Amino acid sequence: MLKVLSVRDHADGIVAQVEGLADRNGAEALKGARIFVSRSVFPETDEDEFYWIDLIGMSVVNKDGQTLGEVIDLIDTGPHCVLRILPAGKTAPVKPDEEILIPFVNAFVGDVDKAAKIIPVDWDLDY
């Protein structure tokens, strides 16, 4: 296990100083490594903010009460995120054209119910 001493944003990623790595060669060996952070150190979110990990696995239900499916991932498009939904009745993996993609914006997404794990959407089955 590595102990991270400091972290800062850099270009499209982050740069971290790790205990025991004093030179660039040692750091280069870790380039691309996955970093896991304990949920207990996540900062609290505001009422209308969500960590992606909290949205993954939630059911997506439209205004007519139809279950569209389950969130399997999100896509970061820059201006906003897009929910990737595994359609109800399907099992992963599915072809990209079988996924339901819904922009995670107020125009389409209602108040997320964290307790019930439901994301209400204004989206029809045939979109």
In the chain, domain spans? 4-36, 52-121
52-121 has which CATH code? Answer: 2.30.30.240
- Nearest to 56, CA basis, from 4, 112, 123, 3: 112
Picking from 76, 127, 69, the residue whose alpha carbon sits closest to that of residue 104 is 76
Q: How far apart are CA 64 and CA 77, in angstroms?
A: 28
**pLDDT band for position 52 (cuts 50, 70, 90):** very high
* Model confidence, pTM: 0.76
CA distance 67 to 44: 29
| Residue-level pLDDT at 27 | 84
Tokens of 95: 């072809």
Is the pLDDT at 54 greater than 90? The verdict is: yes
Mean pLDDT of the 48-62 span: 95
